Amino acid sequence: MPKRERNKFVKRGQVIDILIEDYAFGGKGIGRIRNEHGEFVVFVPNTLPGQFVKAQVKKSSKKYAECKLFEVLERSEDEVDMPYQSIPGAPYINLPIEKQHEYKTQSTLELFKRIGKVADIEDKFDEFVSSPNTFHYRNKMEYGFSAIGYNHELKTDVDEFTLGFKKRGTWWCGDNLNQDSGLFDAEFENQLKDIRQYCIETGLDPWHAPKKEGFFRYFVVRKSYKTNKLLFNLVTTSADLPKFDLDKFANYLVELFGDRVAGLLHTINDEIGDRTIATTGSISLVYGDDKIVEELLGLNFEISMKSFFQTNPKCAEKLYSKVVDYALENKEAIDNTVVLDLFCGTGTIGQIIASKSENAKIVGVDIVASAINDAKENAKRNNIEGLKFYAADVGKFLNEHPEYTNKIRTIILDPARAGISPKTLNKIINLNAERLVYVSCNPATQARDTEQLMQAGYEIKKLSLVDQFPHTAHIETVVLFEKS
């Protein structure tokens, strides 16, 4: 077996300081190492051109290396000061929003050219839809407890009770959130340090990730923008549970937030895996209600702690409006026909289309049974008829329900980040619909699917970008395909 050639620029595990020179899709900053052997490209996620950063090499090949960001040593000259505590979930909060939009537009269109083979993508570009709220836009946050903190002055781990987020680049180390991060509810986040102090005074331990032990694990909060209510979920292990008074904790939250408290749930999670709700755990209501209500485009949706719901509801209204605009652009292809809403989740898009069309039958399909149950309940609540929902794998559903085949002129697609499998996409193509409206939270997989759709005779008519997550690298895309 030939000996593998040694990388002449970096090795796995090496920590490097590097200047970021360019920006690639998905928030990957591009740095370059130059020496007597030539030039070598380094990708560092969540970085910007002009930043000088410390990063660790995770993977390397002959041509490039993938790194993990440890720390920004020097800021880019494009960055500005913000009155918020910096967190890993908002790596670009110091970059003016117009500059964020510029980077996202440029890198996404480039992706469709390179992966989707759409040479004239700029001609198809419709608009960049910005978020109505640049700050404090999220309706859900998960804060983690940790027995290991971080001393920013000494730049080292310390034994400390923390409540906040993981220290960037680590899985074992927490970082206290002491004030508003600019992403979630400001009143709540400014009080999080008081909640941390309350938990410290119980004498019970926070989760110690390396040892896989402790009591406090997560504190999850959902917010309704319709009612301004907060729904809380405290996640703990069962160890020492008799020593913790859940009712007293609920009363403390009411002292802090008054009638904003919709309810408090308690989840037991004894699994060692790093997730908030365990597959084997239990969830129980301690105080108040177990749901909040949100409104989108005049429709009401009940949201439980486990429900999937758009994280930025005000921008979701803009996203769904764009989807509906594309779907109803040729209203004849909707009225008196079957519209297939695949990967429909809680059925929001289908309900909106049904409420705006004449005698259209909307068929929603999603593999997550709880989402389909929510979809059915929401349709009842909103008194919308002409909707049918199926809990099924999309590929299997298309095999098992030929009764819809010849009546479909429009298909709505909103898959998960992985996109649509080639086999399932083939089945969708074989339905021979005139139009597809494809919504994606991952333009890279959507661009990949675009190539397959174009080979099958579909063309991109329009493409819009929707900034659901300001201050992150994420961008949502809505593409209208039509049969050529």
Q: What is the pLDDT of residues 98-146, one digit of tens each?
A: 999 999 999 999 999 999 999 999 999 999 999 999 999 999 999 999 9
Please tell me the predicted confidence (pLDDT) of residue 4. Answer: 52
Please tell me the predicted confidence (pLDDT) of residue 128. Answer: 98
Token pair 């500059």: residue: 99
Please tell me the predicted confidence (pLDDT) of residue 391. Answer: 94
Please tell me the predicted confidence (pLDDT) of residue 1. Answer: 46
From residue 160, alpha-carbon distances to 114, 165, 337 in Å are: 47, 14, 61
**In 3D, which of 251, 256, 259, 254 has the Cα closest to residue 227?**
259
Please tell me the predicted confidence (pLDDT) of residue 440. Answer: 95
Do the beta carbons of residue 52 and residue 74 sit within 8 Å?
Answer: yes
Token pair 């670009």: residue: 92
Token pair 């991109």: residue: 460
From residue 265, alpha-carbon distances to 25, 28, 55, 450 in Å are: 38, 38, 39, 43
Strands 458-466 and 174-176: unpaired
Using DSSP, state whether 303 is helix, strand or coil.
strand
DSSP class of 168:
T
| Interatomic CA distance for residues 9 and 27, integer angstroms | 23
Please tell me the predicted confidence (pLDDT) of residue 254. Answer: 98
pLDDT tens, 64-89?
A: 999 999 889 999 999 999 999 999 99
- The beta strand positions in 183-228, using DSSP E, are 216-223
Strand order through the sheet with 338-342:
125-129, 458-466, 476-483, 435-440, 408-413, 338-342, 361-366, 387-391
Which residues lie across from 478 on neighbouring strands? 439, 464
For the entire predicted model, the pTM comes to 0.89
From residue 396, alpha-carbon distances to 122, 160, 402, 417 in Å are: 36, 51, 11, 20
Question: In 66-93, which positions are buried (b, 16+ CB within 10 angstroms) versus exposed (e)?
Answer: ebbbbebeeebebbeeeebbebebbbbb
Do the beta carbons of residue 14 and residue 57 sit within 8 Å?
Answer: yes
CATH number of 100-133+312-483: 3.40.50.150
With 0-12 / 13-18 / 19 or more C-beta atoms within 10 angstroms meaning exposed / middle / buried, residue 5 is exposed
Q: Would you list which residues are annotated within the binding site for S-adenosyl-L-methionine? A: 310, 343, 366, 414
pLDDT below 50 — which residues of the chain?
1
Spell out the residues 6+ positions from residue 128 whose beta carbon is closer than 8 angstroms to its own.
Answer: 101, 104, 105, 464, 465, 467
| Interatomic CA distance for residues 272 and 210, integer angstroms | 10
| Interatomic CA distance for residues 339 and 333, integer angstroms | 9
**Domain boundaries of the chain, sorted by first residue:** 14-79, 100-133+312-483, 140-296
CATH topology of domain 140-296: OB fold (Dihydrolipoamide Acetyltransferase, E2P) (2.40.50)
Please tell me the predicted confidence (pLDDT) of residue 236. Answer: 97
Token pair listed for 392: 């099924």
From residue 173, alpha-carbon distances to 51, 214, 370 in Å are: 24, 14, 34
Using DSSP, state whether 318 is helix, strand or coil.
helix
From residue 364, alpha-carbon distances to 352, 368, 422, 469 in Å are: 12, 12, 20, 26
441 assigned to active site:
yes
Q: What is the CB-side half-sphere exposure of residue 340 using CA atoms within 13 A?
A: 28
14-79 is classed in which CATH architecture? Beta Barrel (2.40)
Note whether 14-79 and 140-296 share their fold: yes
